[in-house]
Amino acid sequence: MSSQIDHLLTETRRFAPSPEFAASAVGTAELYERAAADREGFWADQARELHWHKPFSQVLDWSNPPFAEWFADGELNVAYNCLDRHVEAGLGDRVALLWEGEPGDDRAVTYGELTDEVKRLANVLTELGIEQGDRVAIYMPMIPEAVAAMLAVARVGAVHSVVFGGFSADSLRTRIDDAGAKLVITADGGYRKGKVSPLKPAVDQALADRGAGPQLTVEHVIVVRRGGNDIEWNDERDLWWHDVVPAASPDHEAQAFPAENPLFILYTSGTTGKPKGILHTSGGYLTQAAFTNRVVHDLHAETDVYWCTADIGWVTGHSYVTYGPLANGATQVLYEGTPDTPHSGRSWEIIQKYGVTIYYTAPTAIRSFMKVGRQVPAQYDLSSIRLLGSVGEPINPEAWMWYRKVIGGKKAPIVDTWWQTETGAIMISALPGVTETKPGSAQVALPGISIDVVDEEGNRVGEGNGGLLVITEPWPSMLRGIWGDPDRFVETYWEKFQKQGYYFAGDGARLDDDGDIWLMGRVDDVMNVSGHRLSTTEIESALVAHESTAEAAVVGASDETTGQAVVAFVIIKQSYLDAHSPDGLATSLRQWVGEQIGPIARPRDVYIVGELPKTRSGKIMRRLLRDVAEGREVGDTTTLADTAVMSVISAQLK
């Protein structure tokens, strides 16, 4: 481990919050003290910010690890917490969703209106026989009805499984079957990249194409009209939202469910094999989603206009579009489309139009904005922004600096938030009114969260060293299991550090001399070149720091002499492509990495490509690039946002 190069850790730039920001910040230094003195008491306080139909008396039950129970004898209704309680507090006219369609149509939905819609839909669900514990698949575009659907399912104590609208019929079928969903809620289609992308046809196919597969569990399909595209109709099974929802009664009293009642299943992709259905429950999940949304995003619900760009098909969309902000009574932007449609300034246009104050997005988006250039955001008024967030991947220091200068006007603090589908909510992040931020480091565990970096044996590596990221104490929004597969849950996350009882996150990390955490990418992304451990993140950051580079992905490809060799795939900014030869660029980049990090990190090959393979949530699928780098046939590409990209890359390298 000691041979790992610590290029990133030489970062010396620091940004303290302004006194004005610190003075009114939601998250304060006392939170750390309070949590350190009494962790469970601290979480109990956070949980009491919610409305409990029946208060809990017990906080954590960890008598059967790794199966935790939080607030187990308490009862609540998740949808009541996100809706009715705000209306009852007189906030029915506050806007919950500032919805913007991709073509430019828009709609503001108040808490009163959203509550009404959810109550009606809850009545429809009950009429269709959906009961506590039943599973409902949601396959929808980013429209207000998608948020309403999640909340209505939660309201009746059922379990939703949101499947990203860009996934294929095949992926949808596997997820519907694994969860045994009784109902699907979908739309005819939604707008994506300037045209209607059909959804209902994929549902039809997923339900029809049974083959020798499991028996069909789905009884009904509710369809929102959005795309206006032609679809087929099954009279026995299909119902139009606009026929059934407005006709249903607007009266619906939210029932209380136990804190550990399952709330949702969300499938994670990435590695090979069957997707894992990550299971989350109600009380602990909502507690941590709401708390972190307040303190990390510094949410002042009365005045802020918040925008998290994640799709609801991703965990970030669950915790920081639907549950966190609505539990907090926030006003938020919900955007249907992609950030480059119909033009590359779309995101900035939306920020200007609604006066967005808090903006939370992914490094991949930031790097693609950088690729287009700062002259695009410069055409818009972004002065309303007072806080920026990042999630999904390590953010390279250069991208961080660009984000701060060009989008944040050199004043908005940036929170780099580390967490996972499995953790349910943010675990590592600066508190924007307290922490002095460092470009590229996610920094510190949140109050009430216990994180460490350990070696293969589970020993703390200490400051200045690298190892594996672990979570050493249970936390409220932790996954409660993998749907239908308790053994896999134990094996995947708990077996490696069974002796210590640590949760193994699968990420490599380093602690710098200040004790700040630097995420180094998934452990399977760590390369071993001539016995030196190198992280993909580090080399990618060096490449992105070169003026010609917009994006980079690095993989370790097997090599006869060095064991593994560094292979880089790089997207070059247009202006450089026009002025330089690809060979010349590749040579300069190889040299550059050698100078920045050291000769050992110099890529064996630098391939200049037009695109990189990414999942829908913006993570680079290095596994596929490794296939190309090692001359193998490219593996399973079904979870890619753009399934054609691998054939393009392979063709470019021939």
- Where do contacts with ligand 6R9 occur on this chain (CB under 6 A)? 268, 315-316, 391-394, 416-421, 442, 505-507, 519, 522, 617
CB of 237 to ligand 6R9, least distance (A): 32
Structure tokens at 533: 């451990």
Residue 28 assigned to a binding site = no
CB of 64 to ligand 6R9, least distance (A): 25
Nearest CA-CA partner of 466 in 479, 452, 480, 476: 452
CA distance 471 to 66: 12
Nearer to ligand 6R9, 83 or 163 (CB): 163
CB of 505 to ligand 6R9, least distance (A): 6
Structure tokens at 338: 């992609």
CB neighbours of 651 closer than 8 A, spacing ≥ 6?
Answer: none
CB of 315 to ligand 6R9, least distance (A): 5
Nearer to ligand 6R9, 196 or 265 (CB): 265
CB of 430 to ligand 6R9, least distance (A): 11
Which secondary structure element, helix H or strand E, spans residue 625, and what is its range?
A: helix 622-629
CB of 318 to ligand 6R9, least distance (A): 10
Residue 195 assigned to a binding site = yes
Helices (H), 237-394: 241-244, 283-296, 315-317, 324-327, 346-354, 363-372
CA distance 17 to 14: 10
Residue 547 assigned to a binding site = no
Nearest CA-CA partner of 287 in 54, 28, 59: 59
Whether the CB-CB separation of 509 and 9 falls below 8 Å is answered with: no
Name the DSSP letter for residue 91: I
Structure tokens at 289: 């989603």
Nearer to ligand 6R9, 56 or 489 (CB): 489
Residue 348 assigned to a binding site = no
Residue 194 assigned to a binding site = yes
Nearer to ligand 6R9, 392 or 448 (CB): 392
Nearer to ligand 6R9, 117 or 416 (CB): 416
CA distance 484 to 256: 25
The 10 Å Cβ neighbour count of residue 51 is 15
Residue 417 assigned to a binding site = yes
Helices (H), 378-523: 397-402, 486-493
Which secondary structure element, helix H or strand E, spans residue 43, and what is its range?
A: helix 39-47
CB of 222 to ligand 6R9, least distance (A): 27
Residue 392 assigned to a binding site = yes
Residue 507 assigned to a binding site = yes
Nearer to ligand 6R9, 638 or 647 (CB): 638
Nearer to ligand 6R9, 211 or 273 (CB): 273
Nearer to ligand 6R9, 207 or 391 (CB): 391
Which residue shows structure tokens 């959005």? 226
Structure tokens at 176: 């519907």
Residue 192 assigned to a binding site = yes
The 10 Å Cβ neighbour count of residue 141 is 28
Q: At what angle do helices 111-127 and 144-155 cross, to 10 degrees?
A: 60
CB of 252 to ligand 6R9, least distance (A): 32
Residue 530 assigned to a binding site = yes
CA distance 453 to 461: 6
| Known binding-site positions | 192-195, 316, 392-394, 416-421, 507, 522, 530, 533, 544, 546
Bind-site residues for CoA: 192-195, 316, 530
Which parts are annotated binding residues for ATP? 392-394, 416-421, 507, 522, 533
Annotated binding-site positions for Mg(2+): 544, 546
